[in-house]
Structure 1
């Protein structure tokens, strides 16, 4: 069978069955944004993410420093989603031999800038020749309490850490290759090229969240994963979904549906999480966008109706 017919998560399910864990009692979160291992009473987080030329970025449209920044940020976002803080990174890279040294050094300047921002370090790696640029960062972190995708329960509130849909609009604008961009267009492009992981929420998530997920593959798709893992129904309130003014301006000018971008856009490195109602006060900078209920599936409450939402997002296979 061709792996494309299985899809990303079908392939993952098949592959993990071939792996044996030598001591399952110390492993937490297998299948979440990170996995964790308990070592001497401490929880160590492990995650990895890749940037592949032609799949995740277009070289001629991507400044090298932004590429390095993004490589680090996408990994940090996974650590944050599990209530952790990043610590040490290890990077494997593949470069075409004809690639200019300036571009490679620019990538590493971006990596270093992001590492300083997130208070972590990249401490080693591996290099090889490749037909295209491959950047693969393995990242470790620590947490006082692991936050899984499977902890949402009936009666809780579902909370979104920030705006969604901006990155999709930014990518579309970038691909237009316009000679000049307006202010709101530049901000949307920056949202795609220079995402900032929500490390500021890590400590509070580890204390108060019962479940969480990085929504970089799209709000609807990743929320669907959280709902399935927790065995619950999630209902978004359309009136509470935060609409970014720059995105709204772009969609109006382009004749697009802003909610399609917000639900299915992807590349927005925000966190969706669930908390008890009493703990909402600890997240004043975030947006309560819906509720956790008994049942299954993902729905959008629009007026007095609940409309099913397709739990679809970006897939890597």
Structure 2
């Protein structure tokens, strides 16, 4: 059976890209098209129950799905302009659930002045959601473009997405009872950060698939390795992982990401970047560097963890807990 990347490669080998498209397959979070004196950004993203977003608060579910879709445009240094979706609701959703879900989407779009332009609707046993976002930029960021020695930065803490997954997968675990209704994760759309970093960044990707997968993808796009340390883990997610006796590194290695921006800054630009960051009142986290050798390494205190074997997908497992146990065993 083909994995996700192999399937996409097979499709792209038949449906060849052309025209004024700038990026190659896997090279950017959006499709980037030359459009007059600017660049048009196009992204389409699908979600379902397998993404492990909690469904106990429909407003937050709608909000988080829309923010997740918008994130691709931000990772390309763009401004989101138009939004469309195809919504297939579960037969279990009632009118109240649907209204709150839609209000969550509306909240994110209004907050950032993005226009909704219509979509499609259906009903099935399980819900699914597909969003289309159009944006523009005068300077597109891609996953490629970085070099050995470029420094790795993050726009925020790591683990919020995998915290959501923990609350979903282990909802019957009594140890997590204090977290289930008390802590509700709302993803943070990094519009200000995106506009700021495109002046300095040599490459960018969002952490939609978790930090580890994003690091590996970024390194592969630039034919480098990486060495990372001092990962800024989400405080509440760390506490939940500890209660479940899961290594904190699971928050960066598992695939339910937090949609932060992971980007590179050339060493020669770092002083100016940091000086302007201080003036902007934005916060970024330096976590490492791209390396010449193509090794994927995480420094933890006095130990070095080899991440080369962690590029595995939950979709390759019949049971998500088998996937979790495999990751946990690799961390031993």
TM range (shorter): 0.7 to 0.9
Q: CA deviation at 1:164?
A: 1.0
Contact 2:187 2:258 in 1 (8 A): yes
Superimposed CA distance per residue, residues 72-95 of structure 1 (whole angstroms, 9 cap, x where no aligned partner): 101111111111121101111223
Q: Which moved more, 1:11-20 or 1:247-256?
A: 247-256
Q: Is 2:252 the partner of 1:262?
A: yes
Task: Identify the match of residue 230 of structure 1 among 222, 225, 230.
Answer: 222
Q: Which moved more, 1:197-206 or 1:227-236?
A: 197-206
Could you say what secondary structure the match of 2:258 adopts?
coil
Task: Identify the match of residue 63 of structure 2 among 63, 69, 89.
Answer: 69
> 1-side partners of 2:242 and 2:126: how far apart?
37
Q: Which residue is equivalent to 1:17?
A: 13
Superimposed CA distance per residue, residues 113-154 of structure 1 (whole angstroms, 9 cap, x where no aligned partner): 010122212111112333322211110111121111111111
Q: Which residue is equivalent to 1:35?
A: 31
Q: Which residue is equivalent to 1:166?
A: 160
> 1-side partners of 2:158 and 2:131: how far apart?
24
Could you say what secondary structure the match of 1:252 adopts?
helix
Q: Which residue is equivalent to 2:311?
A: 312
Contact 2:207 2:259 in 1 (8 A): yes
How many residues matched?
A: 304
> 1-side partners of 2:277 and 2:295: how far apart?
26
Could you say what secondary structure the match of 1:256 adopts?
coil
Runs (4+) of structure 1 moved beyond 6 Å? none
Could you say what secondary structure the match of 2:67 adopts?
helix
Q: CA deviation at 1:270?
A: 0.8
Return 5+ residue gaps in structure 2 as ranges.
317-332
Matches of residues 149-228 of structure 1 in structure 2 within 5 Å?
149-174=143-168, 175-176=170-171, 181-182=177-178, 189-191=183-185, 194-228=186-220
Could you say what secondary structure the match of 1:312 adopts?
coil
Q: Which residue is equivalent to 1:100?
A: 94
Q: Which residue is equivalent to 2:319?
A: none
Contact 1:298 1:311 in 2 (8 A): no
What's the Cα RMSD here?
Answer: 2.5
Q: Is 2:119 the partner of 1:125?
A: yes
Could you say what secondary structure the match of 1:27 adopts?
coil
> 1-side partners of 2:92 and 2:184: how far apart?
28
| TM-score normalised by the chain length of structure 1 | 0.86
Q: Is 2:45 the partner of 1:56?
A: no
Q: Which residue is equivalent to 1:296?
A: 294
Return 5+ residue gaps in structure 1 as ranges.
none
Contact 2:141 2:204 in 1 (8 A): yes
| TM-score normalised by the chain length of structure 2 | 0.83
Matches of residues 70-85 of structure 1 in structure 2 within 5 Å?
70-85=64-79
Change (3 A) 1:212 1:58: closer
> 2-side partners of 1:247 and 1:134: how far apart?
26
Contact 1:264 1:312 in 2 (8 A): no
Contact 1:161 1:270 in 2 (8 A): yes
Could you say what secondary structure the match of 2:199 adopts?
helix
Change (3 A) 1:8 1:26: closer
Contact 2:175 2:243 in 1 (8 A): no
Q: Which residue is equivalent to 1:144?
A: 138
